[in-house]
Chain A
Amino acid sequence: MTRVLLSSLSASVVFTTVLVTLLVTMFAVPDATLAQRGHRARHTTEAAAPDAPTLADLSEITARLRSDNPDQVREAIDLLSVLDRPEVVPPLAELLRSGQPDPVADRALEALRGLASPASIDVLVEMSRHRRPAARRRAYLALAAIDDPRIPALLAQGLRDSDRSVRGAVALALGDRHATGTLDALFTAFDRGVIEAAIAIGKLVPGAGVARFDAYLGQRPLAVMLSGYGPLLRRDDIGAAVKQGVVEKLGEVAGPMVRSFLVDYLTTFSERDSSPLKRLIEETIRRIPAEPTPAGGAS
């Protein structure tokens, strides 16, 4: 009887673990979005506090957006952010379209980023064509925060932007969003010098496509390549053989930067791990001198 109960309990534990794992995986969200929602959750919690604005205060807060006092305008934006409801998007959109000084416009864009509401897509697309690069960058980042199937294609337009900072921010955002459909555009951008695309490529490239990224080894600065290899090697969907190939290539390059990179990567392995990959990493680290060899050979 006890045995039966213990077996049942074990099975229940296993089942629950598996179930929880599955549930966590199913509802996992990008880090950025999680951060945003955490922010909103905190504010939602705070909204329960007596001073937090409610939807009933929307019209009054909206009126303050038209104030001559810029501090009042900023405060109104912040209050709308706290409201965290789709209803605040139209007044913020109107504020942006009416033309505001840079700090106010940027604050409104940040607020929309926090809201991450699909209702703000239209105004953010408009703002993504603003003449000021900082405004465009904020608009793209706000788009990146929105969970909507249109977003990856809209974000990818940012890779065509004339401003370097916009292209870089968009490349990072695409990687964060796991926008695998934009991989070709990211490779083109990387080829044309968008170094941030390396990180995104590292996050998105499938195992079969790693060779395409490897082709840039020696053509691009090593630090840039390592910024892509980092996330690549940490991905679970990349097979060990591919990772070993990467480590071998890096071993051929050698150098203190590679050594430092591999040492850092090694820390992600558990002590009990005895996989061929880990052994390869250790061996490669051993082969690469810790310090540059003095001229004239080792003493």
Chain B
Amino acid sequence: MKRAQTRAAWLGLVTLCFAQGCTYGAMTGAFDPRFPDNRADAIAPIVARMPAGRIADAPSNARAVPLAVVTTHAEPRAVAAYSLVDGSTLWTHPVDAMTRPEILGDVVLTSTRDVVLALDLTDGHELWRADLASLAYVGATRSDATVIYAASVGAGGGSARAGRVRAVDARTGLERWAFEVSGVLGQPAAAGGVVFAPWDRQNIAILDATTGLEQARLRTTDDVLAWVESSPAGVFYGSGGIYHFDSASASGTKSGSTYHGPFLTDAPRDPMLFDDGFFPKPGTRSARGRIRLYASPAPSTDAGPLAIEGDTVFFVYYRYVFATDLDGRIRWARSLPQDVVNAQVLQTGLLTAGERGDMRVLDLATGTDRFQQDLGTEFDSVALDARGLTLSAAGEEAPDLRTALTEIAGDPDNRLVPARAWAIQRLAALPEPEITRDLLDLYAQRAMPAALREAITTALSGRTSGAEFLVAALHQHYDFLDGTEPPPLALIVPGLIEAERHDAVTGLVDQMNDPSTPLEVLPLVVRAVVSLGDASVVPALQSFLHLYRADSTFTEHPEAIAVAAEGIFQLGGADGRTELAALADAHTTDPALAQAIHGLFEAETQQAARHAQAEADAAARAAAEAAREEEAERPMRLSQARVDAVFVEHADDIRGCLEQELANNPRLSQVRFVFILDSDGTPRDLLFAPNGAQLVACLQPVVQALRFPPFRSRRQRAVYVARVRELGGTQVAQTTTPTAPTVHHFWDRAARRAANSEVAPGRPWWQQRRAAAASATQAGDTGHQGDAGNAGTPPEHGTGPWWMNDGRREGGDQGAGDSGNQGAGDSGNQGAGDSGNQGAGDATPWWLPTQ
């Protein structure tokens, strides 16, 4: 029983928790740090509650009249409301307001140092006030009959960070709900029965407008927040860029959200699209808010691209207004008579409020005045609710963009230098050639600040048109009576050189000879004369050089006359150089100039030497490269055919020796040549078989004089067999003509060896060798056939010299991998019809085929 009771109690507690919405445990109603963020399932219902986006075409205030509510400038200060239909004053309420008024339905909210104040929109009387408790009022919004406002401290840094969001009855100020936040709060926005409360520059708590309970939360993970705004087009939030609140917002990222990046990122002072909601909107005269972007987000479908009304962004810098496309291309520019305190984007233009009451609407497409009204009062801040304002048709022709930007750039108001520099940058981007002249004229203005001169210099350097105006500017000279300054040569001359304007030479020569041309820019001018001129400028350079070669003007800075000397050196031919040499040696010539002239000659000599050296180096490299290529084309080893070809070529030289030997030795059938070839084709270490002294003495010089083709290996062993007589017994001395290699099987060799040798066929090779050694010992140096392995002194061990044997390695000729001497098809060792090589003492192993 007791157990059942306990169970029932737990069940009840759990049920109670769920009933009280304790799904998230013991969290408070809003701004709990444990509240989950970026939950798509929580965002979706909020999105569903949003009204369909539309373009506002009427004022949102309860009077349904386009109006402006201002804080006045003159003492005593007040909040005043004006109808924009006729400019009449609707009401005035004396109060030293510290924040810009906000028009919220039928109430106007503002604040003093200590309280937030609600005024009736109809007549301006005070409806209620609430203590701010030392917090700064940052702004309010309205949802039906509820006004929700926020106050906070800590937005500017510091240890104190606290905020309060409070929902009250719009007419009575009775509190409906409130939250204290230990963080920085921004101005809230309301739509669809929910309130979007930004806090700590990263979160947006979405609260139920009636209860204040948090329904969902957004948190940006890769951005910071500065504002949240609601309009008939939808709810938007952001900082430099702009997000549309929709289902994609749950991603918490730029890439995942409906997002457009910042506009006009090159605009000075980084203007934002909306006021920073974490700071109070000042109600007193302040520079804040005088530099702003204005654009009205347009309705977009969920997940559709973020759109901007009119595809236009307005950039306001005090009294300058620029209209641009979304890609930043400037459409028009205006300079208004008064600083713009606030503005509102309308369907067909921009309503601007000047600080002395000048209200005008600038046409969206052209910038002309569509509406103009003078409220006749000076004010510090203004709230505008003017959608639906009746406008006149687009009026007189607007000044063209070039004229407007030039006027702004030349405006003597030095408060606005950054915007003037931006105007110069945009002016220079226009294609009209005349703009080059406009920029030069701006530069020449005496009152032009240095920062703007720098902007003009940068702008001109990027222009590709209008060079003819640079040429024309050279005709301007200093004139004390006329008040003209010399042209900005440091600005002009580089452009002329860049554009290769040879028609500028005459003007440049005039500037070179003008005594008022600044000394610091004179070298540049002379350089331009030299680079753009030809031989025709030499007389002018000579006159200039002669006149100042000894003058004190250039003692400290001889660069200009040195450049003139260089020009004569380059363009003056032999006569010019002769003259320069004489000038350098003249005793009155400035030493620095003389040194510079000598340097020209020395430099030329050195240049010629370097050039010659470079040519020699190039020739050497070419020769080396040719040698490398030639070497690369060489074979690794000479084939037997190449060896044979050389002997065939010198057959006549050899024939005499062979015939002589044949006369002494009628039985001679062949002579074997064995030698080492070096890589350059030079033979050495010659051995002959037979190796009779007379034969050797005859053949040695002949063979030694032969030159074989070079090859890449270090050396190779070469063999050549000269057949002395034909098969069949005819004794004819003839050299062997290289033929295609013939493969003989070892049994064929054995048979031939048996026919020609004393060694019986079929005996093992080691026995054959021994027999060859023995026969060589017996026969001596008689040139016995087959005794190729025993040229000269009989070997001690019967193995003969290494090159007669197999397998012994020498210089890469023998041994494993020695493709020149071993293995089938070894063309280096065998000769065609080499029957004389077989048998005892044969240098080639018997199992290798002969050729």
Contacts and interface: CB of A to CB of B under 8 A. Distances in A.
B513 interface: yes
15 contacts: A98-B546, A99-B546, A99-B588, A99-B589, A101-B588, A130-B547, A131-B515, A132-B552, A132-B553, A133-B515, A135-B551, A136-B515, A162-B480, A167-B480, A188-B481
Contact of A68 (B514, B516, B543, B587): B587
Contact of B547 (A97, A102, A159): A97
B547 A162 contact: no
Interface string B502-516: 000000000001111
Given A162-B515, A162-B516, A99 B480 contact: no
A135 B478 CA distance: 18
Nearest to A161: B480
Contacts of B514: 129
A273 B552 CA distance: 57
A99 B550 contact: yes
A189 B588 contact: no
Nearest to B545: A99
A160 B482 CA distance: 8
A105 interface: yes
B550 A189 contact: no
A100 B550 contact: yes
Nearest to A105: B551
Given A132-B553, A136-B515, A162-B515, A99 B547 contact: yes
Interface string B199-238: 0000000000000000000000000000000000000000
Interface in A201-238: none
Interface residues of B, number: 24
Given A160-B482, A162-B480, A99 B515 contact: no
A189 B551 contact: no
A99 B546 CA distance: 5
A101 B587 contact: no
A154 B672 CA distance: 110
Nearest to B477: A160
A66 to B, nearest CB: 10
A161 B550 CA distance: 23
B396 interface: no
Given A100-B588, A131-B548, A132-B552, 9 more contacts: A70-B588, A97-B547, A99-B546, A99-B547, A99-B550, A129-B514, A132-B553, A188-B481, A192-B481
A135 B587 CA distance: 21
A32 interface: no
B41 interface: no
A201 to B, nearest CB: 15
Majority-rule SS of B interface residues = loop
A185 B481 CA distance: 8
**5 closest Cβ pairs, A-B complex:** A99-B549, A162-B516, A99-B546, A131-B515, A131-B553
Contacts of B649: none
Interface string B448-481: 0000000000000000000000000000001111
A100 B549 CA distance: 7
Contact of A129 (B482, B513, B545, B552): B513
B4 to A, nearest CB: 113
Interface string B538-577: 0000010111111111000000000000000000000000
Interface string A94-128: 00011111101100000000000000000000000
B696 to A, nearest CB: 87
Contacts of A101: 550-552, 588
A2 to B, nearest CB: 68
B551 A159 contact: no
B481 A160 contact: yes
Q: Output the residue of B516, B547, B551 with the most chain A CB within 10 A.
A: B547
A175 to B, nearest CB: 17
Interface string A118-159: 000000000001111101100000000000000000000001
B521 to A, nearest CB: 13
B547 to A, nearest CB: 5
Interface string A227-268: 000000000000000000000000000000000000000000
Contact of A102 (B478, B516, B549, B551): B551
